[in-house]
Structure 1
Amino acid sequence: MKKYTNNKRFRLFALTLLGFGLWSCDNNLLETIPNDRLSVDVFWKTENDAKIAVNSLYTDLDGTNLVSWDAVTDIAHTNQPFNVEAYIESGTYDATSSKVFNEWSAAYKGVRAANYFLENVDKIPSANATVINQLKGEAKVLRAYQYIKLTGLFGPVPLVTTSLSLQEGREVVNATVPELWDFIDKELTEAAALLPATYPAADKGRVTKGAALGLLARANLLAGRYQKAADAADLVIKSGAYGLYESYEKLFSYAAENNKEVLLDKQFIKDTYSNGIFQQLAPYSQKNGGSTFVPTKALVDTYETTDGKKITDAGSGYNPAKPYEKRDSRLKYSVFLEGDVLPSGIVFKPQPTSGTADAIGSTYIASTTGFNIKKYINTDDYANPGNSGINIILLRYAEVLLTFAEAKIELNQIDASVFSAINLVRNGRNDVKQPSVTAGTQAELRDLIRRERTVELAFEGQHLFDIRRWKTAEKVIPGPVYGITFTNAQGQLVTVEAVSVNKVFDSSRHYLWPIPQKEINLSPLLKQNPNW
C-alpha cells in the first residue's frame, strides 16, 4: 500500500487555505479584512506562512496532461476525433484552440503565483535566512519550470516576473527566445545555490538542488546550448544523489514512488488530491477505460531487438508475424500488447475479430491502433479508476543521463563518459538489458541517442519538444496512423490503419503553437507567431 507523507497532506491544507482565502472577524465592521482573497493583514507573518504559500505553487505543475503532448506527435494518437488534441493532430487548430489557451493560462497561473510569493516572502521577519532562501529557491525553480514549457511550446512569450496591474497586463510584449532562455538559466542557477541536496522523509517531493540542475540541463538542451546542458547534467551525475530505479517495469507504480531516480514529480493522494490517469489511459475493458491517447506503430517499431538492432536492420531477426518477440523489454513495460494480462485479470485481445471489449472497432472508445499505454496503469487503481493517487514523474535521472550524452555528442566531445551514460540507461536496470554501445560516429550516435530518448521517455511529455528542436517533426508526424499487425482468417498479415486519420505538420508554422487569440485581444502589443 502507498504511504502518504505528512508533506503531501500539508500541501493540500495549504491549497485549501489559499483557494478560499484567509479571513478574520473584528468588532469594528469598518475595519474588516476581505474574506475573498489572501490579505497581507493576516498573512506573511511567520515562516509557516511562507511554507504554506510555497507549497501551493506545486499544484500548478503539470500532471496527466503531459501525455497529451505526445499524442500530437508520431508516437501516440488522440483516440477520439472530438478531443481537442485531434484537431492539433490534423492541423486544423488555430489561435482560438482551447488546448492552446489552457496550456498557456495554466503556465501563467503558475508564474503569477510564484511572482506573488517572491514579492512578499521577504516581509516575514525570520531569523532563519536559510529556510527563507530555500523557499525562494523552490519558487524560482517552479517558475522556471513554467517558462521552459512556455518557451518550448510558444517561443517568444512575455517574460513576467512581477505582479501586474490591469493596465500593465495590457502592455506586455513578447520577450525574445534568447532572453527567455537567459532568464531560465539564471533563475535555475540561482535556485540551485539556495536548495538542499535532500530533504527529510516528511518533505519528500520538494524541489532539490538536483531538480534545479536537472531542469537547467533540460532547458539548455532545448535551447541548443549544449555545453551548458552537459555541464548541468554532469553536476547531477557527479552529485551521487541519484541513480536508476532497479526495475523499469515497476518505475511507474506506487511501490516506486519517491525512488532515487525521481528528481521532480507532481504528488497526488487517493481520495484527497487524486488524478484520473487510469481512467484516462486504460483499455476500454478496464471499467470503461478511456483509451484517450494510444501508442502508434511508429513508436512500437522504434524499440530495438534484444541484440541491439533496429527492426529494419539486416540480420535483426525481427519477425512481422511475431512482432513483440525478442524486443527491448521497455516495449512490454510501456505498451499493452496482445496477450498481456490486464489489471482486471483478463487477457488483452485487441484484434478486430477477437470479440472482446478491446477489439478494434468494437466501440469508438476502444483503441484504434490496438495498443494502449501501460505506464501508470496500476492494478491498485482498478477498483476506482478515477481516483488514482499515483505521482506523475516530471523529471528523472534517466533523462539527465541522456541529456548529458546528447549534448556531448552534439559538441562532438565523444568520450567514455558518453558511452557510460548511454549504457547505464540501456542496461543499468535488472529488467532492461540492451547491448552496450562502445563506438560510433557522431551521426550514428546522434541517431541512437534520439531513439533512446524516444523509447525511454515515451508518454512522459518530452517527445514533442524533442522533435521540434531536432527539426524532424515535419518528417515523422505527417500521414496515416498505423497500429497492430496481426494474422487474419486467411492467414495474411494485416496492419491496422486508424480510420479517417491523417496527421498534418506544416513546417512553416507548426514548430510553434499560436499565442492564444484571447491574450492578443487583451494585450494588443503581443505579436502572433509566424503564419498564424
Structure 2
Amino acid sequence: MTMRLKYNGMTRLQKIVPVLIVLAVSTLATGCRKDFLDREKLSVLNEEAIFSDSVYAIQYVNTRYSNLTYSWDPNRFGSGGLECAIDEAESALAPTGLQNIISGGALNPSNTDKNIWSTTYAQVRAINIFLRNRPVIPLSVENKMRCEGQLRFLRAWYYFTMLKHFGGFPIVGDTVFNETDKIDVPRSSYEECVNYIAAECDKAAGMLPLSYPNTTFPGEEYGRVTKGAALALKARALLYAASPLTNTQRADDPDHLVSYGNTDPDRWRIAAEANKAVIDMNAYSLYRGSTPFFYNLFLVYQPNDALPEQIFAYQTPSSERNSMLRETIMNPPSRGTRYIGTVSVFPLQELVDAFGMKNGLPITDPASGYSGIGDDMYKNRDPRFYYTVTFNGALRAFSGFSGDQPVRTYTGVIPAGNANETSANLDGIYKNNATRTGYYCYKMLSNTVIGGGSLLMRPGILIRYAEILLNAAEAYNEAYGPSEQIIGWLKDIRNRAGIEPGVDNMYGIRAGMNKEEMRAFIQAERRVELAFEEHRFWDVRRWKIASETENRDMHGMEITRAANGVFSYRLIVVRSHVFRDEMYFFPVPQTELTKSPSLKQNPGY
C-alpha cells in the first residue's frame, strides 16, 4: 500500500502491507519509537502520542486487517478449516479437533470456538478507539476519510463473521469500554444486526475509492478496502438474510436473535438489487488473464483498476513458511514443501461427485458420458475438477523429474523402481500422513512449490466476482424466477471454467427450468465453483439443508493395485457425520455468558 502523507510540513512515502503489519517509511521516520508500538495492550499506550503521529495512525489502521481470515483460514483448527466440518473434506486430526466435533454433532457452549467472539470485539474496540481520536489525527481530509472508510468496512466484516456463526450479536456502536467497565450488553436482534452491517457498508462505500494506484506489485496498496468491496460485503450479508434459515418465524426464538420473526419474500429482491449494484459498477470481470484461468485466478495478483475478479483480497505473509502453508498441509507427501506439517484437508467423494462432465451435465445424467466408478471415472470431467482435486493419476510436478508426473494414491502392490514409481509408499491411502479419502486438495495450491521450490507471495481472495454473479443469480431466481439474465451469468461462469458450449451454446444449462430446478442448479454450481472458499459450510446452513447434507456417511475412494498393475475400486466410509438442528448456529461460548448475564444462548443449547 502506498500513501503520501503530510507530516510536519514534509512528505513521507509509506509502503504498508496491511495483513503483515509491515511498515516501511523514509529515513525521516525515527527508529527509536518502535518499542512504543510493540506493546500488546492498547490500554497502556498513550493514545495522544499514537494519533498525533500520522505514521503511527496509518500503521494502526493497517493492523486492523490482521484478523480478516480467522474464519476462512485453512489452518483455523490446527490443520483444516470449516471445509473439514462438512461434506467437502476430511481432516487428519484426532476426534477432539473442533472440525470433527462439529461434524460429529457434539458442538456445545463449552467446546465451541471462543476466538470468534474475542477476536471480533478486540478489533471492534480498536476501531472505535481510532474513531474517537479521528479529530486530532494529522492527516488530510481525504486520507482521514479513507482511513475511516476502511475501518467501518472492517468493523462490518468482523461483525458479519459473528452474524454467520451466532446470529444476533451485541452491537456496541462507537463505544469504547475500559478495562474497569462492567460490560453487559445484550444481543441485538438478527434484523438489527443485518441493518447495522448494511448501513456500515454503505457509509464505508461513500468514503472509499473505486481503486488505488500501484496495486500491480504486491505490497503497494494491495488489499486496501475499496468501494466495491464494501458494496459486495453488503450484498453477501443481504443474501444470507434473505435465505430460508433466517427469513422465517421461529417459535423457539421469541427475541428474534437467529431469525427475522416473519417470512418476507421481498428480502430476496433487496438482496438481488444489492448484488446487481456490484455488477453494474462495471469494475469487475471474471479472470481470463493467463491460462488455465481457473487455476491461475488464485495464484496471480490482479490490479483492482483493470476489471479484476478479486473484489477483496489480501496479500499472504512474506514469511516463506506461512506463504506455503496450503502446500504444507494439503500437498501429497511426495510433493511436500521443505516444511514439515500434518497433511490434511482430504477431499471427500461427495465433493468429487459434485463435479459434472466437460459437457456441463451432471454425472447422474445418462447423457453426460460418465463411465461410473472405474478406470475412466476421472476422464472428461468439468475442468474445474482438475484444479480442485488431486486424484490417482493426476499429473503434478515432482522434484527430480522432468515434466508433471502422476500422483499415486492407491494401496496394494506397489512396484519397485525410482522415487516416482514408488511414490504410493508416501501418497497412497492408509499410509502414514497420507490421504484418508484417496484424494488431495489442489485448489489454490501452486504446482511449483515442491521440494526446494518456494512462493513468497500470493493473493488470498475473500470476495470475488464469480460469487457476486452466483449471489445475484440465486437472489433473482428466488425473487422473480428463472430468466435469460440469470442464464447469462451462469453461462459466463461456465464459459470461463472451460465447459463445452454444446450445440445450443447453453454450457450444459437446461432450458426451461422452473424456480425449484434453477435453485438446485445454482446450488450445485456454487458447490463446485466456490469449493474450499468457506462458502459451502454457510450455504448448507442458510439454505437449511444441512440436516440432509450432513446427517450421513462421508466417503472416499479406495483404489487397490494388483501385482499385474490392474486397479480395483471400492467406495469406503470415511466418517459418519451427525447434524442437530440447533447446529445451524454456533452456541454462544459459556465463558461469554458467564461474563455477561444479559446475553441469551441460542435455541437448542
> TM-score, normalised on structure 2?
0.78
Determine the structure 1 residue equivalent to 2:161: 149
Quote the Cα distance in structure 2 between the aligned partners of 1:477 and 1:182. 31
Following TM superposition, by how much is the alpha carbon of 1:73 offset from its aligned partner in structure 2, in angstroms?
1.3
Instruction: Give the alignment partner of residue 249 of structure 1, picking from 295, 298, 319.
Output: 295
Quote the Cα distance in structure 2 between the aligned partners of 1:117 and 1:18. 19
Residues 140-161 of structure 1, C-alpha deviation per residue, up to 9 Å, x if partnerless? Answer: 1111111111111111222223
- Greater displacement, 140-149 / 37-46: 37-46
- Greater displacement, 394-403 / 44-53: 44-53
Following TM superposition, by how much is the alpha carbon of 1:464 offset from its aligned partner in structure 2, in angstroms?
1.1
Identity of aligned residues (%): 29
- Greater displacement, 207-216 / 52-61: 52-61
Contact residue 57 and residue 142 of structure 1 kept, 8 A? yes
Equivalent residue of 1:265, what SS? Answer: strand
Following TM superposition, by how much is the alpha carbon of 1:400 offset from its aligned partner in structure 2, in angstroms?
0.6
Contact residue 349 and residue 557 of structure 2 kept, 8 A? yes
Quote the Cα distance in structure 1 between the aligned partners of 2:229 and 2:327. 27
Determine the structure 2 residue equivalent to 1:286: 335
1:188 aligns with 2:201: yes
Quote the Cα distance in structure 1 between the aligned partners of 2:275 and 2:604. 36
- Greater displacement, 449-458 / 278-287: 278-287
In the alignment of these two chains, the number of paired residues is 512
Alpha-carbon spacing, 1:360–1:399, altered in 2? closer, same or farther (3 Å): same
Quote the Cα distance in structure 2 between the aligned partners of 1:108 and 1:78. 29
Quote the Cα distance in structure 1 between the aligned partners of 2:495 and 2:182. 51
Determine the structure 2 residue equivalent to 1:371: 439
Quote the Cα distance in structure 1 between the aligned partners of 2:286 and 2:459. 17
Following TM superposition, by how much is the alpha carbon of 1:168 offset from its aligned partner in structure 2, in angstroms?
4.7
Task: Give the root-mean-square deviation of aligned CA atoms.
Answer: 2.9
Instruction: Give the alignment partner of residue 175 of structure 1, picking from 188, 211, 215.
Output: 188
Following TM superposition, by how much is the alpha carbon of 1:262 offset from its aligned partner in structure 2, in angstroms?
0.5
Unpaired runs of 5+ residues, structure 2, are 1-13, 25-30, 75-79, 215-219, 243-266, 400-404, 415-423, 502-506
Which residue identity is paired with 2:474? E
Following TM superposition, by how much is the alpha carbon of 1:17 offset from its aligned partner in structure 2, in angstroms?
11
Contact residue 284 and residue 357 of structure 1 kept, 8 A? yes
Which residue identity is paired with 1:182? N
Residues 456-513 of structure 1, C-alpha deviation per residue, up to 9 Å, x if partnerless? Answer: 1100011111110100100001222211264664865311332xx2111011x11011
Which residue identity is paired with 1:420? G
1:339 aligns with 2:385: no
Which residue identity is paired with 1:218? R
Quote the Cα distance in structure 1 between the aligned partners of 2:536 and 2:585. 14
Alpha-carbon spacing, 1:274–1:486, altered in 2? closer, same or farther (3 Å): closer
Which residue identity is paired with 1:232? A
1:494 aligns with 2:567: no
Determine the structure 1 residue equivalent to 2:410: 351
Contact residue 18 and residue 53 of structure 1 kept, 8 A? no
Unpaired runs of 5+ residues, structure 1, are 25-33
Following TM superposition, by how much is the alpha carbon of 1:309 offset from its aligned partner in structure 2, in angstroms?
1.6
Equivalent residue of 2:461, what SS? Answer: strand
Equivalent residue of 1:248, what SS? Answer: helix
Could you say which structure has the higher strand fraction? Answer: 2
Residues 339-378 of structure 1, C-alpha deviation per residue, up to 9 Å, x if partnerless? Answer: 1233434531111225421111111x21100111112221
Which residue identity is paired with 2:443? K
Instruction: Give the alignment partner of residue 222 of structure 2, picking from 204, 213, 226.
Output: 204
Q: Aligned runs of 1:196-275 on 2, under 5 Å?
A: 196-201=209-214, 202-224=220-242, 225-246=267-288, 247-254=293-300, 260-271=308-319, 274-275=322-323
Quote the Cα distance in structure 1 between the aligned partners of 2:485 and 2:32. 48
Q: Aligned runs of 1:457-476 on 2, under 5 Å?
A: 457-476=530-549
Following TM superposition, by how much is the alpha carbon of 1:292 offset from its aligned partner in structure 2, in angstroms?
2.0
Residues 257-294 of structure 1, C-alpha deviation per residue, up to 9 Å, x if partnerless? Answer: 87811111221232389342221222233335533222
Determine the structure 1 residue equivalent to 2:259: none
Contact residue 277 and residue 386 of structure 1 kept, 8 A? no
Alpha-carbon spacing, 1:194–1:18, altered in 2? closer, same or farther (3 Å): farther
Contact residue 54 and residue 139 of structure 1 kept, 8 A? yes
Quote the Cα distance in structure 1 between the aligned partners of 2:221 and 2:442. 29
Instruction: Give the alignment partner of residue 324 of structure 1, picking from 378, 381, 384.
Output: 378
Equivalent residue of 2:363, what SS? Answer: coil
Quote the Cα distance in structure 1 between the aligned partners of 2:224 and 2:384. 29
Which residue identity is paired with 2:326? I
Quote the Cα distance in structure 1 between the aligned partners of 2:486 and 2:182. 46
Quote the Cα distance in structure 2 between the aligned partners of 1:164 and 1:70. 35
Following TM superposition, by how much is the alpha carbon of 1:169 offset from its aligned partner in structure 2, in angstroms?
5.0
Following TM superposition, by how much is the alpha carbon of 1:18 offset from its aligned partner in structure 2, in angstroms?
11
Contact residue 21 and residue 35 of structure 1 kept, 8 A? no
Alpha-carbon spacing, 1:236–1:19, altered in 2? closer, same or farther (3 Å): farther
Which residue identity is paired with 2:570? V
Which residue identity is paired with 2:109? A
1:7 aligns with 2:25: no
Quote the Cα distance in structure 2 between the aligned partners of 1:19 and 1:387. 29
Contact residue 157 and residue 233 of structure 2 kept, 8 A? yes
Equivalent residue of 2:427, what SS? Answer: coil
Quote the Cα distance in structure 1 between the aligned partners of 2:38 and 2:362. 63
Alpha-carbon spacing, 1:10–1:21, altered in 2? closer, same or farther (3 Å): farther
Determine the structure 1 residue equivalent to 2:178: 165
Following TM superposition, by how much is the alpha carbon of 1:404 offset from its aligned partner in structure 2, in angstroms?
0.7
1:51 aligns with 2:63: no
